[in-house]
Structure 1
Amino acid sequence: MFQQVQYFPRRKSFRTQAIDMTPNHSPDDHPINMKEEREKACLRQASQLLRSLGSSSFSVRCFPGKWQLIRSKLEQLLSGLAAAADGNFLSRNSEVDLLLKSMLSTFDDIESLLLRCGDESCVGGKLLLRSDLNGVASRLGLHNERLAELYASGNATHSRAIVLTKPSSNASREDIRFYVRDLFSRLKIGDISMRLLALASLHEVLREDDEYVRIVATDTADAVCLLVSFLEHRDDGLREKAAGVLSVIAEFDSYKGLLVAAGAIGPLIPILEKGTELGRERAAGILRRLTENSDNGWSISAHGGITVLLKICSDAAACRKELIGLACQILSNLGSAEEMRRFMVEEGAIPVLLQLTMSKEEESRIQAIECLHSMASADNGIRQIVVREGLIASITELLDPCSTCSSTAREAALKATELLHSADSIAVLMSSGFLDRALFFLKHGDVSVQELVLKSISRLCELSEEYRKAMGDAGYMTELVSLLEAKSAGVREKSAETIHNMICAQRNRRRLIQDDHDVDRIMRSLDLLEGNSATRKHLLSVLKAVVESNSGRRRIMASGCVHCLQRLAEADEVDARKVMKKLSARNRFRSILNGFWSY
């Protein structure tokens, strides 16, 4: 705001110059108008002098930090004076004259300090000079605060209210507190336009700096209660902006309780139902954070919140996907409590969410599936309803390789297969084409999708003999063996575990042994492993099953990696010793036969 200029020797005092600025007027002018014009002229002159001081201070080399602080406060005061000069409260406020005289006295002192700091000898000593600079800075802060109070008390309905300059990034905590107090004074006594501006400024600084959040939440009396009261204001804009400010505060775990204590949940429900588009999303964002504590769920239910949330989910065409996603997350949070889950089911949550899983909006589908997954994971009855009513169809559709679904959507679908526990649900999944689609992503998906496919099919292998056989028939074995060489340790481990589960079916074990390369690749993978990993444990279990057949033993011996088993056996690896014992017994038997036939 200030421009750096060369400082010139002391002029006529600022106070005298300001007094000389009384405007010309005619005898017919009204006394109130004359007083207002005179005070406006003084304000404008004070602003000019203030700019001059700010610019001159750049040439000072002594105490640069102190002068930077003074310049910052001068900038705030300049902003206030500019707005006050255009205000309509001057003629009604008898304290304006006193404030102007006090400011002009401070300006004279600043001019004197400029001269003292420009003198290399620092007349009076640096300690005294530092004290005087601190005193001037403090007085400027008081002028700013008093000017804001006078303006608010006399001009609270004026659309061009003083907007103090936001403190700089390195401002002191006291400057931040003063700025916050000023904004809240406008919220308390201002008209709608002033309150809207104050809320917008407050929202901006809260998002930029956590220190403002702390000061609002803990250092400003009744700040949260005042903000909550605006949630019930008749003006949509005020409700929306108040929700925006509270949404920032709600992001901090330590302050969420303040919102609940201030009674925020009740007023948020009507905004969620009938507010502006942005207001509804902000209200939903706050409720999502508050319902992370399940104890708050009952308050939402008591105010009809569950009905409102389900209405949002059922009206996907009329609501933005962001709002629907937040509604699903809130329902998911609420569903963590058993009684709340039951109530949600009674209110028709499952059909609504299942319908949403078939939505055209991918994000809405993901949130609905995750919500159903969360509810059904903790409740067998809900799990049966979800599976019976059509979740499998949504899962398989998202896994269609021809679809344009994202990896995130496919991951949500794969996670939802955890709900399939019964033989009937697994049979439905198999008949839906899931195996072919899962195998495609096992071959072509990224690592995160591969890991989820492996987790899903490995778990299903454990549950169903028919599923294990179907996987072998579909060609999973060779692909799983090839993944033992994957870069991801997680993929390698899950692949080994799934192979182990699959060979519980005898025909899968035969298929593994009959392949020309599978046993050989397993042996080489085992040889490359380091440390006592879960992958090694699974592979040794596979070899322990393979070594039971003559052809399996031949495959192991032909791999050229028997030394790996020997090394592990010598290290007291139990399964490796068992495999080596089988191989040794077979070799001894062959040696006896060879000796017998040699006679």
Structure 2
Amino acid sequence: MYPIPSSASAVTKAPVSSADGDHPQAILDLINHLLSFFLQSSLNIRSFVSRWQLLRSKFEPLRSILDSLSSSSHWTDNLLIQTLLPDLLSTLQRLKPLSEQCVDSSFSGGKLRMQSDLDVLSSTLSNHIRDLNLLLRSGVLQRQPVAVVSSQLRRGSHREDVHLFIRDIFTRLQIGGIEFKKKALESLLQLLSDDTKSVGLVVKEGNIASLIQLLELHDIPEIRDQAVAAVSILASTNDETRKCVFEGGGLGPMLRILDNASIPLKERAAIAVESITADVENAWAVSVYSGVSVLIEACRTGSPATQSHSAGAIRNLACVVNMRASLAEEGAVPVLVHLLGSSSVAAQEKAAAGLSILAESGGYFRALILQERGLQKLMWLVNNQSSSDVLESVLRAITSLSAADSVVGILSSSTAFIVQIGELIKQGSSNLQHLSATLLANLFVSDENKRAISSCMYSLMKLMECPKPEGLQDSAAQALIALLSVRPNKKELISDEKNLMRLIQMLDARNDSVPKKLPVDVVTAVLASDSHFCKQRLLAAGAHRHLQQLAEMEVPGASKAAQKLTMSRIKTIFSRFGKE
């Protein structure tokens, strides 16, 4: 350790890099001696007085911070200290000869140069104070180092150790040099990858804004690349972390990276942008950074992963009413239609979802989509795609487009499309069944095609008993009624014992799983052709009794249906008497 110099001059000449001088305590002693010197000598300054008053205001807080630092139990073990204290000592040593020149009121040197030097050193001292304060507040000096020394946290570590580990990482990110930052980012990425539960703690304990600042370090690619990976993980984990990344200013840098970076970085940036824009309150900000054109270009020229996530971001923007004009102007519709033919299933799904939202917004976008032959590509996917997620988005898009009469005509005349809709009603997920049934109910299907898909009637009957998702029962009933406009379908439905019993059970007033108007409407559709066979089957199964009860409950249509069956019953009785 250095002996305490007898004068400040000795401090200025002390070789900080010597073996003894490298010890933090020795350097701290030199710093404290210099601070004492400056606190005394600054009272005698006669030139540039205001600047020295500002400098003096920093000496006492600095000494207080150093006192707190030296009272911490493990301060000498911290690697950052071994960088921060020598840097601080160097700054103070540079300041000393300036103080000697300013003692005389008749300063004869270069005034502008002196003013500049004092301003630079004053700013540097402020940075030292900030960094030391940050290190002190982090709490890492109270315990043995855990972060970059070991690079990763041991499994089963106490929660307090995890908190300290995270604070240590972010302290090094904020005030450490390049190597400190690299190792800190390695530790952070390892933590985020190994333990998803730690992500929330990272947001709580870490300074995410300082991490986001590293996204702009283009001159140090390794640090920037690691920062992009970390921010991408944080943005895509949950609502809390996504909000934190957005509020920390992460959207703009990520859009710039998406616009101009390597393929891996673009993919990570696209993930982050898609996640951030999933919140409607964040999505509007894309326009601030001219991000719409960036996303569209990424959809045109990016890798499959970049295209997929960029399409997802455009889908998110489509939900924001004020963003739709920009999407139209920048050419989002042709790009989304093109992505329907992508090799990426995820890109197909997100493109279809975006088109669905835009088509639902009004006739202008419907016309744009039809102009790009979007309907034909969507119909092709219905017949050639097996992914439920893609099919669901595709059917939603087709449903949105079907608000146009011309689309209804095209769909109604396509036997291949109608047949596939029937298959989805039979074999699809509940959402696909719902969407397919809704579409079918609103189309003008030919009698021939109604016969071609008659096998889905049993599935429609089953769907009428499903209360969820909302609207499914009504859609299934309307689709079934549409198919029952063909006489052979009525006979086929009623001939099947399972279908008949299911219909009778739905008519039962004690069965509250189905709104009673729906099975009554189905019975009315069956009776519309005055088929003697159908009436007899319904009577034999007990439909008349249930319809009478429903008529007493004033269920719409029940009274007329009961009357039809009553007349049929009377005719049957008279015909028997006639034969006798």
1:508 correspondence with 2:506 = no
Which residue, 266, 287, 293 being the options, matches 1:307?
293
1:527 correspondence with 2:504 = yes
Distance of aligned partners of 1:503 and 1:98 in 2 relative to their CA distance in 1, 3 Å threshold: closer
> For the residues of structure 2 that align with 1:498 and 1:365, how far apart are their CA atoms?
27
> For the residues of structure 1 that align with 2:544 and 2:72, how far apart are their CA atoms?
80
Which residue, 245, 258, 282 being the options, matches 2:230?
245
1:264 correspondence with 2:250 = yes
Deviation of the 1:340 alpha carbon: 0.8
Alignment deviations for residues 147-199 of structure 1 (CA, whole Å, 9 cap, x no partner)? 3343454799xxxx952464445544443333223222322343333312211
- Tell me how large the CA RMSD over aligned residues is: 4.0
The answer for the alignment partner of 1:362 in structure 2 is 345
The answer for the alignment partner of 1:190 in structure 2 is 176
Deviation of the 1:345 alpha carbon: 0.4
SS at match of 2:73: helix
Which residue, 553, 566, 569 being the options, matches 2:545?
566
The answer for the alignment partner of 2:450 in structure 1 is 472
1:280 correspondence with 2:211 = no
Matching of residues 142-221 of structure 1 within 5 Å: 142-143=73-74, 146-153=77-84, 163-164=149-150, 166-209=152-195, 212-220=198-206
The answer for the alignment partner of 1:18 in structure 2 is none
Distance of aligned partners of 1:513 and 1:98 in 2 relative to their CA distance in 1, 3 Å threshold: closer
Deviation of the 1:422 alpha carbon: 2.1
> For the residues of structure 2 that align with 1:257 and 1:34, how far apart are their CA atoms?
46
More deviation in 373-382 or 520-529?
520-529
Alignment deviations for residues 116-141 of structure 1 (CA, whole Å, 9 cap, x no partner)? xxxxxxxxxxxxxxxxxxxxxxx999
SS at match of 2:74: helix
Q: Paired residues, what number? A: 457
The answer (yes or no) to whether the contact 1:523–1:561 under 8 Å persists in 2 is no
Alignment deviations for residues 407-437 of structure 1 (CA, whole Å, 9 cap, x no partner)? 3333332232212122211222244531133
Deviation of the 1:327 alpha carbon: 0.5
Corresponding letter in the other structure for 1:472: K
Structure 2: unaligned runs, 5 residues or longer? 1-14, 30-69, 88-146
> For the residues of structure 1 that align with 2:86 and 2:545, how far apart are their CA atoms?
92
> For the residues of structure 2 that align with 1:451 and 1:404, how far apart are their CA atoms?
16
Distance of aligned partners of 1:455 and 1:184 in 2 relative to their CA distance in 1, 3 Å threshold: closer
The answer (yes or no) to whether the contact 2:284–2:320 under 8 Å persists in 1 is no
Deviation of the 1:331 alpha carbon: 0.8
Deviation of the 1:589 alpha carbon: 4.5
Deviation of the 1:313 alpha carbon: 0.8
Matching of residues 13-412 of structure 1 within 5 Å: 36=19, 92-95=22-25, 142-143=73-74, 146-153=77-84, 163-164=149-150, 166-209=152-195, 212-220=198-206, 223-234=207-218, 235-250=220-235, 251-315=237-301, 319-400=302-383, 403=384, 405-412=386-393
The answer for the alignment partner of 1:452 in structure 2 is 432
More deviation in 164-173 or 305-314?
164-173
> For the residues of structure 1 that align with 2:513 and 2:544, how far apart are their CA atoms?
15
1:481 correspondence with 2:458 = yes
Deviation of the 1:509 alpha carbon: 4.0
SS at match of 1:92: coil
Distance of aligned partners of 1:536 and 1:451 in 2 relative to their CA distance in 1, 3 Å threshold: farther
Using the size of structure 1 for normalisation, the TM-score is 0.66
Using the size of structure 2 for normalisation, the TM-score is 0.67
> For the residues of structure 2 that align with 1:254 and 1:34, how far apart are their CA atoms?
46
The answer for the alignment partner of 2:35 in structure 1 is none
Deviation of the 1:476 alpha carbon: 2.1
Percent identity reads 22
The answer (yes or no) to whether the contact 2:337–2:351 under 8 Å persists in 1 is yes
Distance of aligned partners of 1:142 and 1:351 in 2 relative to their CA distance in 1, 3 Å threshold: same
> For the residues of structure 2 that align with 1:359 and 1:253, how far apart are their CA atoms?
29
> For the residues of structure 1 that align with 2:165 and 2:513, how far apart are their CA atoms?
59
> For the residues of structure 2 that align with 1:322 and 1:140, how far apart are their CA atoms?
52
Alignment deviations for residues 301-327 of structure 1 (CA, whole Å, 9 cap, x no partner)? 222211111011112xxx332221110
Distance of aligned partners of 1:534 and 1:236 in 2 relative to their CA distance in 1, 3 Å threshold: farther
Which residue, 410, 432, 451 being the options, matches 1:428?
410
The answer (yes or no) to whether the contact 2:292–2:326 under 8 Å persists in 1 is no
The answer (yes or no) to whether the contact 1:353–1:369 under 8 Å persists in 2 is yes
The answer for the alignment partner of 2:399 in structure 1 is 418
